[in-house]
Amino acid sequence: MSVQPFHLAIPVDDLTKAKAFYGELLGCEMGRFSNQWIDWNFFGHQLVTHLVVSMPSAPQHNEVDSHAVPVPHFGVVLQWDDWQALSQRLKAAGTEFVIEPYIRFKGQAGEQATLFFMDPAGNALEFKAFKDIDQLFAR
């Protein structure tokens, strides 16, 4: 089955900070834009940052593997080596993690590398990777 790109629109309260975060830190290519929004190539998916006057309430949290996971959040499942490279780039940039990079569900079905952090507007992101992608939906 071929996976189609998703489209996600998120609120931000500063497009200049969004450009620095999504464009420079994460390396996403900027697409169409106006003074109210920017399209991003978010790892092959379409992410749109929409300027808002004020951000919605802060994320809540669910406990997963003894960590407080922010909800809502979004992100991408990367190849293992790409996740490692992103993790190192984020650490080198001094990123403040909500959940530091680690291996979740170690030795269990669905074992994965994961990390969580916030964009400058307070949107929560998760990036994960599986050594065995067949474990993506494992129970």
65 and 105, same domain (yes or no): yes
Q: What is the CATH number for 17?
A: 3.30.720
The answer to whether residue 56 sits within a structural domain is no
**3-state per-residue secondary structure call for 40-106:** EEECCEEEEEEECCCCCCCCEEEEECCEEEEECCEEEEECHHHHHHHHHHHHHCCCCEEEEEEEECC
Number of domains, the chain = 2
The answer to whether residue 1 sits within a structural domain is no
Residue with tokens 């300027």: 51
Per-residue pLDDT tens digits for 71-81 = 999 999 999 99
Cβ-based neighbours of 86, under 8 Å, separated by 6 or more: 26, 78, 127
Q: Across the chain, what does the average pLDDT equal? A: 95
Per-residue pLDDT tens digits for 26-58 = 999 999 999 999 999 999 999 999 999 999 998
73 and 100, same domain (yes or no): yes
38 and 82, same domain (yes or no): no
Strand arrangement of the beta sheet that strand 124-129 belongs to: 74-78, 124-129, 112-118, 97-104
In terms of Cα–Cα distance, which of 76, 74, 90 is closest to 129?
A: 76
74 and 46, same domain (yes or no): no
116 and 76, same domain (yes or no): yes
21 and 46, same domain (yes or no): yes
The answer to whether residue 36 sits within a structural domain is yes
Q: Which domain holds residue 19?
A: 7-51
d(CA 34, CA 62): 35
Amino acid 1: pLDDT: 63
The answer to whether residue 2 sits within a structural domain is no
Residue 42 in contact with residue 81, Cβ under 8 Å?
no
Q: What is the CATH number for 111?
A: 3.10.180.10
